[in-house]
Amino acid sequence: MTRAELERRLDEAGVSSATYDLTGTACEECLRLERTADGWIVYYAERGLRTGERYFRTESEACEYVASELLRDPTTRQHR
């Protein structure tokens, strides 16, 4: 899975884009996916802190992890 595929999957599931960041840029209280020199890192960003860091060798592994975390959490859904 690529970041673009992940974004489509999350959008189709109604996950609020405010709950995640797939580009490694600034966000307030969200799950962040970031490219590193050695692979990929996923962590929860809140007030400049990083918690729950998980490292992955491939983009696909990292994206699968992000999808599973966000899709199993009902609080990530947009209110429609």
Q: What is the pLDDT of residues 10-26, one digit of tens each?
A: 999 999 999 999 987 77
Helix (H, G, I), strand (E, B) or coil at 78: coil
- CA dihedral 22→27→30→32, nearest 10 degrees, is 30
In a domain, 79, yes or no: no
- At residue 79 the predicted structure's pLDDT band, cuts being 50, 70 and 90, is low
Q: Which two tokens stand for residue 10?
A: 């999350």
pLDDT in tens, 34-62: 999 999 999 999 988 899 999 999 999 99
> What's the structural domain count of the chain?
1
In a domain, 77, yes or no: no
Cβ-based neighbours of 54, under 8 Å, separated by 6 or more = 41, 42, 43, 62, 65
In a domain, 80, yes or no: no
Looking at the domain assignment, is residue 78 inside a domain? no
- The range of the structural domain enclosing residue 17 comes to 3-72
Torsional sign, CA 19, 53, 57, 67: negative
Q: Is residue 29 part of a domain?
A: yes
Residue 11 lies in a domain: yes
